[in-house]
Amino acid sequence: MKNISKYFFILILTYSLSAKAQQESDTLSFRPTLSLGYDMSGLVLYLLEPEVFMHGALLGYEWRPNWFATLEAGNMSIGVERETHSYEASGVFFRAGLNYNLLQGNPRMKGEEIFLLFRYGFGRLNHEAPRLIINDPYWGSVEGAFEKAPYTAHWAEIGGGLKTRLFWHIYLGWDLRLRLILARQPGSEMNPYYISGFGKNKGNSAVMLHYFVYYKFPFGK
């Protein structure tokens, strides 16, 4: 019985030491990576809704294995000109957060990712309606204008996506995100059509699909 306990203890000790050595070896072989991305979903949105221009860029830094600190920034502009109405908006946004790669420890998929993401977002814009008509058959139609006014919003987002190598150091990837408004500061009685960095302003949540092209800087190779 004593012998069995002794062997069992040695087995656990050997396994612990070997696991620790493997972990240390992984940590030692890890080199931080830096990637720069461009959000192509703005281009697709432009094809679907030519009045809305949205550009976004991303900077990702893998500071420890499978954890990426991510900073995103961009701008938005809207210009609608119709016979009965016109609407203009321009704004900027910032998003900061983390990506966590679920494809850890798979050597065949090195550099590629299936990830979960978490972000905090902030968007600020100015918008105005130089000409508008509210049609009301009972009280009568209202014609007028709405002066330029600011609008800010804060939100949180969660989501997931994937990234795969296309060729050389170029990667492609998409992710789907659910956004939830945390706070808004409307500067007027007019609600914005889009909130920069958030998406269409319909309620307190939005789902957005992003399509990125990345350049991964070949550090540590």
Partner 1 sequence: MKTIAKLRFIKILALLTGLCGLVSCQDDELCEESTASRLRMGFYLPVVTSGNPTPYTVDSLTVYGVGRPDSLIYDNRKNVRSIEVPLNPTANRTGFVFFFPENITDTLWVDYQTELNFISAECGFAMFFDIEQVGHTNNRISFFQINQNLVTNSLEEHIKILLYPDPDL
Q: Please tell me whether residue 215 binds partner 1 under the rule CB under 8 A.
A: no
Residue position matching structure tokens 């302003």? 201
Q: Please tell me whether residue 191 binds partner 1 under the rule CB under 8 A.
A: yes
- For the bound state, the minimum distance from the C-beta of residue 44 to partner 1, rounded and expressed in Å, comes to 5
Specify the residue, 61 or 146, whose C-beta has the smaller distance to partner 1. Answer: 146
Distance of CA 198 to the CA centre of its chain: 9
Determine the Cα–Cα distance for residues 192 and 90; give it in Å rounded to an integer: 10
Kindly state the helix (H) or strand (E) to which residue 115 belongs, with its residue range.
Answer: strand 113-134
Interface mask toward partner 1 for 1-40; x: CB under 8 A: ----------------------------------------
Residue position matching structure tokens 């004593």? 2
Specify the residue, 69 or 80, whose C-beta has the smaller distance to partner 1. Answer: 80
Backbone phi, psi, residue 83, to 5°: -60, -40
Specify the residue, 46 or 61, whose C-beta has the smaller distance to partner 1. Answer: 46
Kindly state the helix (H) or strand (E) to which residue 43 belongs, with its residue range.
Answer: helix 41-48
- For the bound state, the minimum distance from the C-beta of residue 59 to partner 1, rounded and expressed in Å, comes to 21
Which of 11, 134, 170, 182 binds partner 1 (CB under 8 A)? It is: 134
Per DSSP, the three-state class of 66 is coil
Within 8 A by CB and 6+ apart from 17, the residues are none
Q: What does the binding site for partner 1 look like in residue numbers (CB under 8 A)?
A: 41, 44, 48-49, 51, 80, 82, 84-85, 87, 108-109, 112, 129, 132-139, 142, 146, 161-162, 164, 172-174, 176, 189-193, 209, 211
